[in-house]
Structure 1
Amino acid sequence: MTSSNSGSAHQQAKDWVESISKNEWTKPAAAVAGTLASLGLIRMYSNGPVYKNSVNLKGKVVVVTGANTGIGKETCIQLAKMGATIVMACRDPSRAHRAKEEIVKLSKNEDVDFIRLDLSDLSSVRQFVSDFRKKYSRLDILFCNAGVMALPRRETTKDGFEMQFGVNHLGHFLLTNLLLDLLIASAPSRVIVVSSYAHTFGKIDFDNLQWERNYSGFAAYGASKLANILFVKELDKRLKQSAANVSVYAVHPGAVRTELPRYILSSWWKKLLVTPILPLTYLLLKDPYHGAQTQIRCAIDPTLQQSSGKYFADCKEKMPSAAARDDQVAEKLWQVSEELVGWKNK
């Protein structure tokens, strides 16, 4: 793994600015150059590291939820370039087909498929699995990437779950378990669950899982992201108990410029507050390419097999919150999730 934050580039920019600043006539230009150089360094730092290694994924089948935009689409592009067969699991067919054309064009890989999946509808999750099994007999990598964030008002899924808990956790919980036999049969295989640093302000309240009381969009989002890590923890434990050669990882992609925070601008006063600082997001937020690096590493790096069950950010293993390391809560959440989605491992 190498980083795009280059010390030599930093020194070259510094030397150049110092050389032109010695000339009185060029001091204004030096000030501008210094500012631009500083902004460039901020940009490089904000983007974070790049995982440069590549593997041959020819013959491997990869499912990516939320594949039509953001880091999901970027993940498809990068793994398609490595030869993988990509299955885009998305809700909107028209947007998915447009993204598919772009993925094929950029990767020069025609093995890109689309199967409709709406994670807010458990019947759609089951239908996706049925459709997938009709076309594919293996599954090597599953990216639980799709998500919703900070809905300003409490909404529910078709099955009556709070939207963020239902989509971000329960939908992926059912999807993964319904595909688990294929992952085990295709081993060594991997599951990557996209969580967030927001898990650190999340709390699992079993008496108010659906946020019927005291709803807060950000608090509910944090709880769903905490559930993602606890799911990974418990899934890893169960896979190891059964000696299955399936590795599973929770990932924080970083603050990325995607459609995920679209609900933050859902009202006129929020737009009024946020719009003036939108240009700063170019400097301070990762682009989707850099945002996808951590989950790409977790998907293909052979050295990470012993790190199954762990939490990663900026292409490195990190320590999640104390709440995310609670074995008892992880086990109880699994049991409750089984009941909620109507699935039980036989």
Structure 2
Amino acid sequence: MWNTTTSATGPVGRLVKLARGLTVGVTLLGAVSIEAADTAAPKPQWSTRDMPSQDGRIILVTGGTSGMGYEDALALARAGAEVIIAARNPERGAEAIARIRQAVPDARVQFESVDLANLSSVRELAQKLNQRLPRLDVLINNAAIMAPPERGTSADGFEMQLATNYLGHFALTGLLVPLLRQSQDARVVSLSSIAAGRGAMNFDDLQSEQAYQPYAAYAQSKLAILHWAFALQRRSEAEGWGIRSIAAHPGVAVTELIARGPGLNSEFGQRWAEDRDKYHSAAQGALPTLYAATAREAVGGAYYGPVGDEEKRGPLGFAKVPAAATRTADADRLWTLSERLTGVSYP
């Protein structure tokens, strides 16, 4: 499995305004100032039972038809939120909604079609939501693919993992900033991975055109998400957007990601199958995301995940930030490049 390469400074960032005099048990990444009263680490045994009511909140979850995205949607619907599941397959969307309504009869949940690897589809969804919704309170950027054996390209000609995991979410979030700014407590929660610790931004071959290595491309896409999540928090503060940008990772959770990526018969898939009893369920893997999306004390600019067993599983806490994710020059370069590639400039 992935081993996390981290900086000696530890996770998260910049709580200068609110962290004076507080011991949070971590070294922080950046200069985050949010309106959270408590900047302590999460309660290790935090669970969905600790979620505050989400009644009246509007939440969009990408990739919410299975795995952790489904668990996010289920828990949020149970807490009273109006949940929008955005994914590619309408049939799987209908099945997910039926399952949620069976568990939560009064659930307010709906499906919207989007292909994150197609920027036209991303724009169509954003346009529809901007026209229909009064605001968006939480955007959970969850959808991902992992390590397909052969290099694929998106509708826009980008390497498929970078397109799906990162560029599609970058574009969707930028297009939804106006809706997020209408919320009194807007949050963007973006899913990275412990694989980011082995990632590097290969700006000379960002699309893996010269050489495609499935796991390296996956790790790069997840490192890109961390760069962007932290940069989004900095921009939100600088521009007064009032949006908390928070990163999370699930550790290693038992989902369909392996089956749909490298395959269960691959060497990686076989190793994973042998060890799967040691890892989180999808519901457990969803907890860092749900904490970031709902906890009043969740910190803008933070990175949450399990903190035991090399962060593959364990209690909730501040995740370790890879050294590469602290390079703000790389983050700025990536942001500029992402705007050019997607054609989406943030307000």
Both proteins in one fold, TM over 0.5: yes
Structure 2 distance, partners of 1:236, 1:115, is: 27
Matched, 1:152 2:146: no
The match for 1:28 is: none
Residue correspondence of structure 1 range 237-256 to structure 2 within 5 A: 237-256=234-253
Report the secondary structure of 1:207's partner residue: helix
The match for 1:342 is: 343
Q: Radius of gyration: which is bigger?
A: 1
Q: Give the AA of the match of 1:296.
A: L
Q: 1:174 to 1:311 in 2, by over 3 A?
A: same
Q: 1:264 to 1:87 in 2, by over 3 A?
A: closer
The match for 1:330 is: 331
Residue correspondence of structure 1 range 302-321 to structure 2 within 5 A: 302-304=296-298, 307-314=299-306, 315-321=316-322
Matched, 1:63 2:55: no
Structure 2 distance, partners of 1:106, 1:236, is: 35
Residue correspondence of structure 1 range 135-284 to structure 2 within 5 A: 135-263=132-260, 265-266=262-263, 270=266, 274-275=269-270, 278=273, 280-281=275-276, 283-284=277-278
User: Runs of 4 or more off by more than 4 Å in structure 1?
Assistant: 273-277
Residue of structure 1 aligned with 2:99, choices 92, 97, 102:
102
Matched, 1:293 2:287: yes
Structure 2 distance, partners of 1:344, 1:310, is: 24
Matched, 1:113 2:110: yes
> How many residue pairs were aligned?
294
| 1:274, distance to aligned residue in structure 2 (A) | 4.9
**CA distances 1:176-204 after superposition (whole Å, capped 9, x unpaired):** 01001111111311110000000011110
The structure carrying a bigger helix percent of its residues is 1
Report the secondary structure of 2:205's partner residue: coil
- Whether the 8 Å contact between 1:50 and 1:290 is mirrored in structure 2 is no
- Whether the 8 Å contact between 2:263 and 2:269 is mirrored in structure 1 is no
Structure 2 distance, partners of 1:320, 1:109, is: 39
Highest relative contact order (Cα 8 Å, sep 6+), 1 or 2?
A: 2
Structure 1 distance, partners of 2:194, 2:290, is: 18
Report the secondary structure of 1:302's partner residue: coil
Structure 1 distance, partners of 2:83, 2:193, is: 24
| 1:303, distance to aligned residue in structure 2 (A) | 1.2
Structure 2 distance, partners of 1:244, 1:216, is: 38
| 1:137, distance to aligned residue in structure 2 (A) | 1.4
Structure 1 distance, partners of 2:243, 2:210, is: 38
**CA distances 1:41-95 after superposition (whole Å, capped 9, x unpaired):** xxxxxxx944231212111100000000000000111010110000000100001
Structure 2 distance, partners of 1:157, 1:274, is: 24
Q: Give the AA of the match of 1:226.
A: L
Structure 2 distance, partners of 1:337, 1:131, is: 23
The match for 1:17 is: none
RMSD: 1.8
Structure 1 distance, partners of 2:119, 2:171, is: 8
- Whether the 8 Å contact between 2:147 and 2:262 is mirrored in structure 1 is no
Unaligned runs of 5+ in 2: 1-43, 307-315
Structure 1 distance, partners of 2:283, 2:83, is: 17
The match for 1:74 is: 71
Report the secondary structure of 1:152's partner residue: coil
Q: 1:110 to 1:327 in 2, by over 3 A?
A: same
- Whether the 8 Å contact between 1:49 and 1:290 is mirrored in structure 2 is no
Q: Give the AA of the match of 1:322.
A: A
